[in-house]
Amino acid sequence: MTTRRDFIYKTILTSAATVAAPATVFASGSGVTSPLKKNVLREKFKPKMNFGMGGVGAGNGFHVNSDEEIRETMEAAWNNGVRHFDTSPWYGLGISERRMGSFLFNKNREDYLLSSKIGRILKPAPDFDKNPGIWKGKLNFDYEYDYSAEGVRKSVEDSLHRMGISSLDIVYIHDLSPDNGHMKEDWVKYFEVAQKGAMPELTRMREEGLIKGWGLGVNTIEPILKAIEVSDPDIFLSATQYSLMEHEDALNRLFPVCEKENISLVIGAPLNAGFLAGKDRYNYSEGIPDGFLEKREKMNNIAQNHNVDLRSAALQFSAAPEVVASVIPGASKPHQSSANAKSMSETIPADFWKELKSENLIEQNAPEPQAS
């Protein structure tokens, strides 16, 4: 008997086939498909757009934004050439997906790249306000963690319905990480569920043509390295780990492994949630690590001496390594998304980077953006 969900996914498959990469079947020794077995010969998906827009602001991250304001912010990004958009059910508990989907609904699906995430299933809860974190305003949904195979299918289907879009290009397994305050040291237990459920199911969805690629979207390095060991991902969204402020660990531990496996990275929070654009908050907390205000001030002084905008330098720095496919800063105002996009074409003199290295403000082996 064909269920409603089966029918929906057959419809999605037909739509997605026009934009999805050709499928490659993983054959085990017995001839049975083995979703977790690595296929070293297949070409892993890599976005062609090296710059995008993150969806935290569209989900009322840090402060409330109107629907119209977010639409204008996305319009400004689109008008400046941005075609890579990332969102998540977690961002505002559905608000970000609804707003981004509304903007993209009338765009040609072939013209943009869209990613969302799995790991939390939303459920109606009027006036929900329990542990909203950085999400502000009215929240009408609660959530539960679900990294099972069935949870993956339901989460993707729910996301497509919220957005009104026929397909996703990339799906990230979200917040499966020790920095997740609900998991902490138990993140490994959740990872084991995902290893048996979400990871093979996303591989099947890739082979079915429903998505082009999958990986993890996390704020730490360990889960990415572990996922590479036990599965066959395409791409990772690594947030907060490679910026002007902090990058040593990613540069020396994460990048070499990804390069060896031909896996690309999307860099999230390249401005450390606005810190490198002048906001007095760091990443997803108002607490700023010791010494970081002083470090930012030193960088700003050097930037001013070279007539450089520090925000532009930060975005270009995060995009410079070859292993990085794209950077996706967030924005909640039209002028922010316009400025972010234009920053990628600004010329930054080589002497600026040399001075940062001479002052030990960035790592000596950090790739330097090439002046255009």
**At residue 286, what are phi and psi to the nearest 5 degrees?**
-80, -15
Structural element, H or E, at residue 199 = helix 198-208
Task: Specify the pLDDT at position 33.
Answer: 41
CB-based contact 116:159 (threshold 8 Å): yes
**At residue 326, what are phi and psi to the nearest 5 degrees?**
-165, 155
Task: Specify the pLDDT at position 370.
Answer: 86
- Report the 10 Å Cβ neighbour count for 300: 16
- Where are the alpha helices (H) located in 240-333, listed in sequence order? 248-249, 255-261, 292-305, 310-319
Retrieve residue 221's tokens: 């390095």
- Where are the alpha helices (H) located in 210-347, listed in sequence order? 222-230, 248-249, 255-261, 292-305, 310-319, 334-343
Task: Specify the pLDDT at position 7.
Answer: 37
Q: Model confidence over 36-48: pLDDT tens digits?
A: 567 767 889 999 9
The distance of Cα 242 from the centroid of its chain, to the nearest Å, equals 13
Task: Specify the pLDDT at position 37.
Answer: 65
Single pTM value for the model? 0.89
Task: Specify the pLDDT at position 15.
Answer: 40
Beta strands 120-124 and 141-145 are antiparallel
CB-based contact 70:332 (threshold 8 Å): yes
Retrieve residue 65's tokens: 């934004």
Structural element, H or E, at residue 235 = strand 235-239
Q: Model confidence over 165-183: pLDDT tens digits?
A: 999 999 999 999 999 999 9
- Distances, alpha carbon 3 to alpha carbons 13, 228, 232, 289, 326, in Å: 15, 34, 30, 52, 38
Q: What is the dihedral of CA 73, 79, 81, 87, to 10 degrees?
A: 30
- Amino acid (one-letter) located at 220: T
Segments in the chain below pLDDT 70: 1-37, 40, 371-372
**At residue 132, what are phi and psi to the nearest 5 degrees?**
-75, -10
